[in-house]
Structure 1
Amino acid sequence: MRYCFALDLKDDPALIAEYERYHERIRPEIETSIREAGITEMEIYRIGNRLFMIMETDVSFSFEAKAAADAANPKVQEWEALMWQYQQALPMAKPGEKWVLMKQIFRL
């Protein structure tokens, strides 16, 4: 399955540059947690302070299982807290929601 998400960064060029540096090579334990969840591909794109993430998953992937595994993993929690220093929720995000799942409206 393919899922697409959006999120904003704080609109500060220095913070955006730091955020990008963190993503040049993510921490190994973060990559492991992503792959173990059944995520086979992940890409993040940026325009201005808006991020767009494309996530490809295998049949074992579950949002609920990923959330539970992340909540139980101190390294993932540490990473999420660090990243939140650079991120900000979209205006339409629910309380506590970071990446917002986008609705596909066209496919060719």
Structure 2
Amino acid sequence: MKRYCMTLDLKDDPKLVGEYVQWHKEVWHEVKDSLLQSGVSALEIYLLGNRLCMIMETDDSFSFERKAEMDAANIKVQEWEALMWKYQQALPGAKPGEKWMLMEKIFSL
């Protein structure tokens, strides 16, 4: 098992943040299925203000490249990502089109 921690900001608008939270109370089953099929075994998203933190646990079959290929071929995942981009904004230093950015673990107990 591998664990990844990623971050992303939402647009700094309480109404949009609230809508984003509502969408995540009923994530489309196609999106959940895609995550599981890619090797994600657990995923949690935390919110503070407009900053998101995602913790993702994966099995040995998971790779970001494979997940990106699977996402590109899945129409419903593409629809979800386009919808979520209404609420999200790239972090400073993000490459064009980059959303979630991988965080570096600096401490473990």
Where 2:60 maps in the other structure, the secondary structure is: coil
CA separation in 1, counterparts of 2:64 and 2:18? 29
Which structure 2 residue ranges, 5 or more long, are not aligned? Answer: none
Q: Provide TM-score, normalisation by structure 1.
A: 0.98
Structure 1: runs of 5 or more not aligned: none
Partner of 1:23: 24
Moved over 4 A (4+): none
* 1:62 CA displacement: 1.1
Structure 1 residue 46: Cα displacement:
0.4
2:11 is matched with 10
The corresponding residue for 2:34 is 33
Give the count of matched residue pairs.
Answer: 108
Q: What does residue 44 of structure 2 align with?
A: 43
Deviation at 1:96, TM superposition (A): 1.2
Identity fraction in percent: 64
Letter in 1 for 2:18: A
Residue pairs, 1:1-108, within 5 angstroms: 1-108=2-109
TM-score (norm 2): 0.97
RMSD value, Cα: 0.5
